[in-house]
Amino acid sequence: MGDNSVSSEDPSELQDVLDALDDPACRTILRETIEPMTANALLDACDIPKSTLYRKLELLSSASLVREQETINPGGGRVTYYERSFEDVTISMDDTGTFSVNVDRPPQSTDERLADIWSMMGDEV
């Protein structure tokens, strides 16, 4: 398949990544989200207040470091899982002094891509 890395010289995107990685609570969440976890599981694992968890998940999502995946709960409703969405982050500076960020992402299976599309469709409804 293709390369799933994302490279950006947009200063706002670079700053989003730097802000997320500089935050101790965000780093704790990233350590725990190797496998998909619900917010409740993250609350237990990270030992941070619920309001803080959701703010940090938003920061990580804005920086594209965590992805949300919604599934249908057999008992009804939806369940949201959070998972780290990168393998490596590289920040570099070129000869002109311009910083850039490169986020290497693992390849997604067809099921994962369909789940992302389904999740986006749910946001539109």
Task: Dump pLDDT digits (tens) for 12-41.
Answer: 588 899 999 999 999 999 999 999 999 999
* CA 109 to each of CA 41, 80, 112, 114: distance values in angstroms, whole numbers, following the listed order: 24, 19, 5, 9
- Please determine, for residue 109, whether its predicted confidence score (pLDDT) is greater than 50: yes
Question: What CA–CA distance (Å, rounded) separates 12 from 110?
Answer: 30
Q: Is residue 103 a contact partner of residue 5, using CB atoms and an 8 Å limit?
A: yes
Give the pLDDT confidence score for residue 74 in this predicted structure: 83
Contact 46, 28 (CB under 8 A): yes
User: Global pTM?
Assistant: 0.75
More confident position, 121 or 58: 58
Question: What digits encode the pLDDT tens for the residues 79-100?
Answer: 999 999 999 999 899 999 988 8
- Confidence at residue 124, expressed as pLDDT on a 0 to 100 scale: 57
- What pLDDT does 93 receive? 92
